[in-house]
């Protein structure tokens, strides 16, 4: 955070609060504001200073591209009205962002109208300025005509620059508006003085003032259009939720606003309609297009029991859906919030740019003054000094500096969301491009996470009794392997579960029907004193083909292994291709699992992974990540379960499979909205593409200034060329960032064509 000083602990808490994370050491609350009137990178520092000066505020992040501010303050010490008043005194308009989708749509429509109105003003400014270029074609306009054409451009269409400059002066800071107003006013009033002194004179500089204002206005209009394009993904997501929903009531179907639907309501979705809520299908069959929500390229078949996501498009079937989530808890709202927050956060590289911009405008004023003095005192040509100084002021506006990073990040997070990649913060996007090692959790990541019992091994007892006893013990567990045993025991009468204790990474201990039993891996059997020798040969053969063997032992009157289950979890169809794709982009893959070494080795061999860790308990996963980091690797951890959360947090970038748990998704910096491992390489690829655009944007921003300012000071550029170059610099930076929209996820490109 920038602004008032905060301790390292507070800095971390501010960042966590801005992301909406619980459990920070300092109780903080978060506010989001839409800020109007910012014109360049220098405004960012000014807004942040105004916000952090408000009592109770410990940090603020301001994004020029999104025109938003995120404020973190000590809980209970902040009034939103104080923030708005502080910005008003600093010369900016502000309003609170409530997260109301309807309100956001209204604001978006108003912004579109303002953009159209600004376009009309730009056309008028160009129409008045164009005749002033006649001297370039060999003609010469009388001074009175030049004055008549330039004056409305200077004071009517240039009023925005004067207003912004006045606000900056009141706050004792500099910004783009000040540079433009000062530069064009110098040219205008110098020309006015020359014309009054010699009315017949035609070699005046009214054209420089008017054309600069027209060109800068064109640049700001194009910039606004381009910035609006960077938020296209957010607007597309906002437009997905239907305004109305058809709900079953005692008297029949009733159409109500979508916001009035409650959890438990049954919604009827006709063919071709958008799904208005998150829910579970209770009747009907159809195919649903979820591409704009999850990035899934093919329609997904839905039947009773399946879940549907609000915003998806129903196919040719009629569905009755029981609502499971509405409002902020819906998948669509959570996706919008994640993308929104990722776009409004400030990347570390942008903080350096903001510090540069804070001293840039005063430095430019100094260079312009020095340029005039050198031309006047050393060259004896004050007229040339005025024009050179004006050119310096105009070309050096730091607009592009403030736009280079946020516009690239906005487009990058937007295209990532379109592909099914949710980025929790821009730090994750910025770090992901450096990853050279990906650690893959096995179950639920490279496998489907839907294991099934393939074989039951009974060592002398009744197989049905073994299955019912084991299933009864597993009723207390949420582990995928436990669910596989329970699925196999469907229909059997189960003895009562009297005691249950989970041993993470080992298995479970339970009392079932008066008997103490242990169910788990070899380490649990050894700990319980039960020998697995009777089934070792068969288990080894099963593990060699990739099955997981779960052993069952009775502990009364003496420990004895009575059987085992061979459970197979199919490898995802795209897992091997994902590993190949990671290898192609220079990223090593490591497989991590709590399974036996033979099982993990078989899966690793099938995927083409040479390095793996087996028999890893949950507490050790984070340690393995740290060990790889100690070797000099930048590590991304991919997982889907609660026990993966510590490793996800320890990694340089945590990547959660979206089909997994909320805990994993909250811990990870990147969430894959669908369980396709190909998206892992896509996450790295979009991060690299975005970072390239940031570097390119900063290069062009500095290039225009490094080349343009000396050229302007030496008199090689007139103010009109300088104005065009300044406008072009912003447009170049934003347009370059917009080219990211052509990025496509390999997971989507590699998808097979739909079967018709």
DSSP 8-class letter at 335: H
Instruction: List, in sequence order, the alpha helices (H) in 505-564.
Output: 522-528, 536-544
DSSP 8-class letter at 290: -
3-state secondary structure 46-61: HHHHHHHCCCCEEEEE
Torsion 222-224-227-233 (CA) sign: negative
Tokens of 450: 């839907």
Yes or no: say if 642 and 661 are a contact pair by the CB < 8 Å rule.
yes
Tokens of 53: 């000066």
* Cβ neighbours, 10 Å, residue 642: 16
Rounded to whole angstroms, the Cα distance separating 27 from 529 reads 49
Contacts by 185-193, CB closer than 8 A, 24 or more apart: 185/154, 185/209, 186/386, 186/389, 186/390, 186/393, 187/212, 187/386, 187/387, 187/390, 187/719, 188/150, 188/154, 190/383, 190/386, 191/146, 191/150, 192/147
Yes or no: say if 358 and 429 are a contact pair by the CB < 8 Å rule.
no
Tokens of 256: 């109500």
Rounded to whole angstroms, the Cα distance separating 407 from 147 reads 39
Rg (CA), the chain: 32
Place of tokens 């708005």: 84
Q: Which residues are catalytic?
A: 441
Tokens of 626: 């740290």
Rounded to whole angstroms, the Cα distance separating 454 from 718 reads 80
């Amino acid at each position: 955070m920038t602004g008032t000083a905060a301790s390292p602990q507070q800095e971390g808490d501010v960042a966590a609060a801005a992301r909406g994370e619980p459990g920070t050491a300092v109780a903080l609350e978060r506010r989001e504001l839409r800020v109007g009137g910012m014109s360049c990178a220098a405004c960012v520092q000014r807004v942040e200073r105004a916000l952090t000066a408000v009592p109770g505020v410990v940090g603020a992040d301001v994004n020029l591209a999104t025109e938003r501010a995120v404020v973190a303050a000590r809980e209970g010490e902040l009034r939103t009205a104080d923030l708005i008043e502080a910005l008003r005194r600093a010369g900016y308009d502000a309003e609170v962002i409530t997260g109301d989708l309807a309100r956001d749509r209204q604001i978006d429509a108003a912004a579109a109208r303002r953009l159209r109105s600004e376009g009309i003003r730009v056309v008028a400014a160009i129409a008045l300025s164009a005749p002033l270029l006649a001297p370039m074609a060999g003609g010469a306009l009388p001074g009175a005509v030049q004055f008549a054409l330039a004056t409305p451009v200077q004071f009517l269409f240039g009023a925005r620059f004067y207003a912004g400059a006045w606000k900056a002066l009141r706050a004792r800071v500099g910004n783009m508006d000040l540079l433009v107003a000062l530069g064009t006013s110098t040219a205008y009033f110098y020309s006015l003085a020359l014309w009054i002194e010699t009315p017949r004179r035609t070699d005046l500089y009214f054209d420089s003032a008017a054309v600069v204002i027209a060109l800068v206005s064109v640049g700001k209009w194009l910039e606004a259009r381009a910035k609006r394009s960077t938020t296209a993904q957010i607007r597309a997501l906002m437009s997905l939720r239907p305004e109305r929903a058809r709900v079953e009531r005692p008297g029949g179907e009733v159409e109500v606003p979508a916001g009035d639907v409650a959890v438990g309501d049954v919604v009827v979705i006709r063919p071709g309609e958008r799904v208005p809520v998150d829910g579970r299908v209770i009747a009907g069959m159809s195919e649903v297009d979820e591409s704009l929500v999850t990035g899934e390229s093919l329609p997904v078949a839905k039947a009773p029991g399946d879940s549907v996501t609000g915003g998806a498009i129903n196919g040719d079937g009629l569905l009755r859906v029981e609502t499971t989530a509405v409002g902020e808890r819906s998948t669509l709202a959570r996706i919008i919030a994640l993308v929104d927050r990722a776009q409004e956060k400030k990347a570390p590289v942008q903080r350096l740019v903001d510090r540069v911009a804070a001293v840039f405008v005063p430095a430019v004023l100094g260079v312009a003054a020095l340029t005039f003095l050198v031309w006047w005192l050393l060259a004896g040509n004050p007229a040339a000094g005025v024009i050179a100084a004006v050119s310096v002021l105009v070309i050096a506006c730091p607009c592009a500096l403030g736009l280079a990073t946020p516009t690239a990040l906005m487009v990058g997070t937007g295209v990532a969301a379109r592909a099914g990649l949710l980025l929790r913060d821009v730090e994750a996007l910025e770090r992901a491009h450096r990853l050279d090692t990906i650690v893959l959790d096995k179950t639920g990541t490279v496998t489907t996470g839907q294991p099934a019992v393939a074989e039951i091994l009974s060592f002398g007892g009744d197989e049905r009794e073994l299955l019912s006893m084991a299933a009864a013990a597993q009723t207390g567990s949420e582990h995928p392997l436990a669910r596989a045993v329970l699925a196999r025991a469907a229909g059997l009468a189960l003895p009562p579960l009297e005691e249950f204790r989970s041993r993470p990474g080992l298995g479970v201990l339970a009392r079932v029907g008066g008997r103490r039993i242990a169910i788990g891996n070899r380490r649990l059997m050894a700990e319980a004193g039960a020998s697995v020798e009777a089934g070792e040969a068969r288990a080894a053969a099963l593990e060699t083909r990739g099955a997981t063997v779960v052993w069952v032992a009775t502990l009364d009157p003496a420990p004895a292994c009575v059987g085992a289950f061979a459970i197979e979890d199919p490898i995802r169809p795209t897992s091997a291709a994902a590993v190949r794709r990671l290898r192609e982009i220079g990223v090593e893959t490591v497989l991590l699992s709590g399974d036996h070494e033979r099982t993990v080795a078989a899966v690793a061999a099938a995927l083409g992974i040479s390095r793996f860790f087996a028999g890893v308990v949950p507490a050790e996963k984070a340690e393995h990540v740290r060990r790889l980091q100690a070797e000099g690797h930048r590590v991304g951890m991919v997982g889907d379960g609660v026990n993966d959360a510590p490793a996800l947090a320890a990694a340089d970038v945590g990547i959660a499979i979206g089909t997994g748990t909320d805990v994993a998704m909250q811990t990870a910096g990147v969430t894959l909205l669908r369980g396709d491992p190909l998206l892992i390489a896509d996450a790295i690829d979009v991060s690299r593409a975005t970072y390239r655009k940031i570097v390119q944007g900063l290069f062009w921003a500095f290039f225009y200034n490094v080349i343009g300012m000396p050229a302007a000071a030496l008199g090689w550029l007139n103010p009109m060329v300088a104005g065009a170059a300044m406008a072009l610099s912003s447009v170049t930076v934003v347009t370059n960032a917009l080219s990211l929209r052509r990025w496509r996820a390999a997971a989507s490109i590699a998808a097979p064509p739909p079967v018709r």
